[in-house]
Amino acid sequence: MLKVKGLKKSYGNKVAVNDISFEVDRGEIFALLGPNGAGKTTTLKCIVGLRKKDSGKVEIDGKYAYLPEKKELYRYFTVKKMVEITDYYTEEFNKDKAYKLLSDFQIDLKEKIANLSHGMVTQVYLALLLSQNADIYILDEPTWGLDPVMRNRIIEKIRGLSYEGKAVLYTSHILAEVEKVADRVAIMSEGHILEMDYLDVIKEKYVAVTVRKGEKVNGYKWKETENEEVYIVKREDAGSEYEHVGFDVIFEAIVRRDRK
């Protein structure tokens, strides 16, 4: 559904996205992960044409729906007016579905956007987006600012898109959420993709080993004590003594880029 090949984007002398490539298949949920400034949002903006890429190829097979990082709507319009505007300008938009989602989210249609909390504005934006009939949904931090209960409901709806054969590309800072919903992930830092695979494969691929301080190890340093260092390494490089670790530990070690 989506192919990105050799994508590069710079802002002046700063390289935001540095020659990255990945694909998202039909029915797949693909997560772009990384710290702030890793290049995730710039990647999404280049894909949908909100930023002009320096080089590389982007191919989208079908229609897309895009949720931006900043969930900004017309502040002095009512929620109902936002639905009507979206219905007017958006192809294959299901207004009845939008009203149903807003009712499920307990959002008052008569309320002005300006009077809504940050989380409620996100819910309105998601209701509008999820009511579009697209082939791929490109979502930048879709659950940011939501409480845990609402976050879980949104994650269920995102997973439901994949059951309908839709493709999903999204970013998130919440690793527990990613583990619930993502099929494949790409870990980014400083514009590069450092690791990319099925989530379960990554969790099986890496383990923790403890060595004497100063000992050379082919892996990512995670933490250290006065006399020892703990590295996250590929299982085949671990030897006979190692410990299994969670995805959050693997992610943290990789994005530090403290490779020895």
258 pLDDT higher than 60: no
Report the DSSP pairing between strands 206-212 and 29-33: unpaired
Which of 43-52, 83-92, 220-229 bottoms out in mean pLDDT, i.e. has the lowest? 220-229
Q: How far is CA 23 from CA 30, 114, 239, in A?
A: 9, 38, 33
pLDDT at 259 over 60: no
- CB-based contacts of 43, cutoff 8 Å, min separation 6: 4, 7, 9, 17, 20, 32, 188
Q: Residues 154, 156, 157, 158: is their CA dihedral positive or negative?
A: positive
Average pLDDT over residues 169-194: 93
Backbone angles phi, psi at 65, to 5 degrees: -120, 135
- Asked whether the predicted pLDDT for residue 192 surpasses 90, the reply is yes
Prediction pTM value? 0.92
H and E: helices and strands count for the chain: 8, 12
> Is 2-75+129-197 assigned to CATH 3.40.50.300?
yes
Q: Is 138 in a helix, a strand, or coil? A: strand
Work out the mean pLDDT of the chain and round it to a whole number.
94
Q: HSE on the CB side for 249, CA within 13 Å?
A: 18
Whole-number pLDDT of residue 117: 93
Higher-confidence position of 238 and 260: 238
Per-residue model confidence (pLDDT) at position 260: 46
All CATH 3.40.50.300 domain ranges of the chain, comma separated, are: 2-75+129-197
pLDDT at 217: 86
Tell me the pLDDT tens digit for each residue of 53-81.
999 999 999 999 999 999 999 999 999 99
